[in-house]
């Protein structure tokens, strides 16, 4: 697999790349690293473990729980809950670490392991590096030091996690959602119960699709990566709008009442203006990534809101927010972080806050989202290439320079290797969609030729 930890934990094909042995070993290594860092000092350590509904999550969860307990960590199993719920419960319960088994928006055969530090925050890169190094060392045959007798970890079910998380979501809403009809696409994923319950308790009339997970259908033609079903359902039911999550519900995309997509940039813009109006947009600043549409930047400038830009990945958005005390940040893909109420991207919370803004203003989502005009943007994923050489290939550098010259000041080019999949992403933005598509296709051909 190369380096185990990517931008969002450890991911791979379950039972091929991501095996039970790997899950167990990483969990033991994580316990040892956190113990050495002083996280467990003076008390018996506790971990919160949750998963999404993937079939492979059942045996991987068992492996993680076994690894932690064998290292002397007590485990609270919260079952199938969204990633942000596991992060929230890790903080709310005072646990020393949290572990989520999920591959987010990836297809069902994949799975992943994501660790959270005390407080529900993602582990620092330095700790992930130490966990990986320690795991690698012991995978070569080194014996672990293991407790015995009363020193082994105990495992308990924590069934209260669902209600506690939903109560948290309802508790932070600024106003109720009475009078709104909302379609929710749960991607047959981790929020299939949580999200409909939260929206209903908040007063909305809820219509659900993609809310029957069977372990095999997660993200299958539905959810935030496949909005067609949601668009059709919103129009069919004449709903006010629709919300789509991904498999672990850390993302949120939307569809307005006419069936048009409202992406993460637009959601971020709507929330930024709402928080500014309520005085909660600290330092009058929003954080986004280099993938954000140029239209978002222009909208924030027009509204007098400062905009900080980071590398792609919600962890980098979060680092910038924590370092400078900002309250709102996110990605075009629908990862939105509202730091006063969550330690990571929370798709259900984002959807609720978006709905609250619609209810508060009495304006439709299409009108609210029109604060920014999306410039044409074409994204092409080039699979099965050596993504490690994307920044060093002379042919690619020449092609990018030529593309930037052709686009001039009216567009931009971005090439980046995926942090979670074996592919290179080619993004081109231009005032004209045909030009953007032509330039993107030409660059994608060069990437495939140079790195294939």
Known binding positions for Mg(2+): 104, 246, 248, 250
**Quick check: 264 and 334 in contact, CB under 8 A?**
yes
Please tell me the distance from the alpha carbon of residue 343 to that of residue 172, in angstroms, as a whole number.
14
Chain position carrying tokens 């060069």: 446
- Please check whether residue 45 is in contact with residue 73, taking contact to mean a CB–CB distance below 8 angstroms: yes
Structure tokens that stand for 397 in this block = 């550098």
The string over 1-28, giving b where at least 16 C-beta atoms fall within 10 Å of a residue's C-beta and e elsewhere, is: eeebbbebbbbbbbeeebbbebbbbbbb
Tell me the catalytic residues.
104
Q: What is the DSSP string of 157-206?
A: E-TTHHHHHHHHHHHT-SS--TT-EEEEE-TTSTTTTHHHHHHHHTT-EE
Q: In the structure encoding, which two tokens stand for residue 327, read together?
A: 């309250």
- Cα→Cα distances 191→80, 100, 208, 210, Å: 8, 14, 11, 10
- In this structure, are residues 339 and 326 in contact, taking their beta carbons and an 8 Å threshold? yes
CA nearest to 255, candidates 169, 354, 363? 354
SS3 254: strand
For the stretch 304-310, contacts whose Cβ atoms lie closer than 8 Å and that sit 24 or more positions apart, written own/partner, are 305/272, 305/273, 305/276, 305/281
Helix residue ranges, H only, 380-430: 394-407
| Cα four-point dihedral sign 341, 128, 35, 98 | positive
Residue 268 · residue 253 · CB < 8 Å: no
Q: Are 211 and 189 in contact (CB under 8 A)?
A: no
What are the two backbone dihedrals, phi and then psi, of residue 163, each rounded to the nearest 5 degrees?
-65, -35
Asked if residues 193 and 252 have their Cβ atoms less than 8 Å apart, the reply is no
SS3 56: helix
């Amino acid at each position: 697999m190369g380096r185990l930890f990517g931008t969002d934990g450890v991911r791979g094909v379950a039972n091929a790349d991501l095996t039970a042995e790997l899950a167990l070993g990483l969990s033991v290594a994580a316990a040892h690293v956190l113990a050495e860092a002083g996280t467990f000092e003076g008390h018996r350590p506790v971990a919160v473990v949750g998963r999404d509904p993937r079939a492979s999550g059942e045996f991987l969860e068992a492996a993680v729980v076994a690894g932690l307990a064998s290292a002397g960590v007590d485990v609270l199993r919260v079952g199938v809950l969204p990633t942000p719920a596991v992060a929230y419960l890790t903080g709310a319960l005072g646990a020393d670490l949290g572990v989520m088994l999920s591959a987010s928006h990836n297809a069902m055969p994949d799975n992943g392991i994501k660790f959270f530090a005390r407080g529900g925050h993602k582990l620092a890169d330095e700790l992930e590096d130490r966990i990986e190094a320690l795991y690698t060392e012991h995978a070569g045959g080194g014996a672990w030091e293991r407790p015995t007798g009363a020193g082994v970890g105990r495992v308990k079910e924590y069934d209260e996690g669902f209600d506690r998380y939903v109560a948290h979501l309802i508790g932070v809403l600024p106003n109720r959602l009475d009078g709104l009809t909302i379609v929710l696409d749960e991607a047959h994923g981790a929020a299939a119960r949580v999200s409909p319950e939260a929206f209903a308790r908040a007063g909305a009339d809820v219509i659900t699709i993609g809310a029957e997970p069977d372990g095999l259908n997660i993200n299958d033609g539905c959810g935030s990566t496949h909005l067609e079903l949601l668009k059709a359902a919103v129009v069919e039911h004449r709903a006010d709008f629709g919300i789509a999550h991904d498999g672990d519900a850390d993302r949120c995309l939307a569809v307005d009442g006419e069936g048009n997509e409202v992406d993460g940039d637009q959601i971020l813009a709507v929330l930024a203006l709402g928080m500014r109006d309520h005085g909660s947009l600290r330092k009058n600043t929003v954080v986004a990534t280099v993938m954000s549409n140029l239209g978002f930047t222009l909208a924030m400038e027009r509204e007098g809101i400062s905009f900080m830009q980071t590398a792609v990945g919600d962890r980098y958005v979060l680092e910038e927010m924590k370092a400078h005390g900002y309250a709102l940040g996110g990605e075009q893909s629908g990862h939105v972080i509202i730091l006063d109420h969550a330690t990571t991207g929370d798709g259900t919370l984002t959807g609720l806050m978006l709905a609250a803004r619609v209810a508060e203003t009495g304006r439709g989502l299409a009108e609210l989202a029109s604060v920014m005009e999306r410039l044409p943007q074409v994204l092409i994923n080039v699979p099965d290439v050596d993504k490690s050489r994307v920044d060093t290939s002379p042919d690619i550098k020449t092609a990018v320079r030529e593309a930037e010259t052709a686009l001039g000041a009216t567009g931009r080019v971005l090439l980046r290797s995926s942090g979670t999949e074996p592919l290179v992403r080619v993004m081109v933005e231009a005032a004209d969609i045909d030009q953007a598509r032509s330039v993107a296709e030409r660059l994608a051909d060069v990437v495939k030729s140079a790195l294939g």
